[in-house]
């Protein structure tokens, strides 16, 4: 058993070996490899599920497949990988900078020294939750300044509408029309640099902050799903707990003054 474990660990970094070794050992202590059948992989996983979360179990099944592959047990390796693929793991909670949320009310002041194109770009990100790639692809024909909305081409070539306020409409209206028809004739990297310099964060953090802000104000998750361009409501719902936590903390703070 030790020789097989060491062979399966060969080539891994020391930190990885420390993670893989107990996983290999736990399976081999349950059943000798020569007696193991695919059903034993599922039995092992059901016991393991009582000790670790689903994300960790999924990772450990992939670890086991390495052991089985080295041992020449293709049947067990395929079973471990198939079972790992069956495990549905929710996406990790996005990290939301709460200081960024607080700046929403002070955005005009924060951007007061920025150039018109910078101000318009960052306000569009903050008020619509757009991705950077979607922002730099926007053309004048996509924007309705009177209706205060923009038609955005998202992932998979799908179109959706996003909405903005009068202050952003005014900022856009002040921009010059350039020859290529794009509202923001700059690169993704330029937008990221502007956000880093002016908001001290990155564009996707602004997108996360928009989502939490929208829900904390009572916004409907299904509406947010359409605004953000998520294909699944489940992706959007990961923001609900964050928004609720924000609302509760704000309530506790205000209620504590009474």
Exactly one of 18, 47, 155, 189 is catalytic; which is it?
A: 155
Exactly one of 48, 119, 207, 208 is catalytic; which is it?
A: 207
Half-sphere exposure of 41 (CA within 13 A, CB side): 24
The answer to whether 200 is a known catalytic residue is no
The answer to whether 249 is a known catalytic residue is no
Exactly one of 42, 148, 204, 226 is catalytic; which is it?
A: 204
The answer to whether 208 is a known catalytic residue is no
Q: CA 76 to CA 243: how far, in whole Å?
A: 43
The answer to whether 163 is a known catalytic residue is no
Exactly one of 148, 239, 253, 257 is catalytic; which is it?
A: 239
Exactly one of 58, 119, 131, 208 is catalytic; which is it?
A: 131
87-124 burial: b if 16+ Cβ within 10 Å, else e: eeeeeeeeebbeebbebeeebeeebeebeebbbbbbbb
Phi then psi dihedrals of residue 22, to 5 deg: -65, -25
The answer to whether 207 is a known catalytic residue is yes
The answer to whether 131 is a known catalytic residue is yes
Catalytic residues: 131, 155, 204, 207, 230, 239
């Amino acid at each position: 058993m030790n020789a097989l474990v060491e062979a399966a660990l060969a080539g891994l970094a020391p930190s990885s070996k420390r993670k893989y070794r107990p996983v290999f050992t736990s399976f081999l202590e349950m059943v000798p490899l020569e007696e193991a059948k695919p059903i034993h992989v599922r039995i092992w996983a059901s016991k393991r599920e009582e000790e670790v979360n689903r994300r960790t179990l999924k990772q450990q099944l992939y670890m086991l497949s390495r052991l089985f592959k080295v041992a020449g047990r293709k049947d067990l390796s395929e079973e471990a990988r198939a079972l790992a693929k069956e495990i549905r793991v929710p996406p990790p909670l996005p990290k939301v900078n709460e200081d960024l949320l607080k700046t929403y009310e002070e955005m005009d002041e924060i951007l007061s020294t920025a150039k018109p194109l910078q101000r318009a770009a960052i306000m569009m990100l903050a008020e619509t939750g757009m991705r950077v790639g979607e922002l730099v692809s926007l053309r004048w024909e996509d924007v309705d300044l009177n209706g205060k909305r923009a038609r955005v081409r998202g992932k998979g070539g799908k179109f959706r509408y996003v909405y903005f306020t009068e202050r952003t409409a005014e900022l856009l209206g002040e921009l010059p029309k350039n020859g290529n028809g794009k509202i923001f004739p700059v690169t993704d990297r330029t937008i990221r640099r502007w956000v880093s310099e002016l908001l001290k964060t990155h564009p996707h953090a602004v997108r996360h902050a928009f989502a939490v802000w929208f829900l904390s104000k009572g916004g409907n998750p299904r509406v947010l799903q359409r605004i953000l361009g998520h294909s699944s409501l489940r992706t959007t719902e990961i923001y609900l707990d964050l928004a609720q936590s924000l609302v509760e903390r704000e309530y506790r703070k205000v209620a504590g003054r009474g």
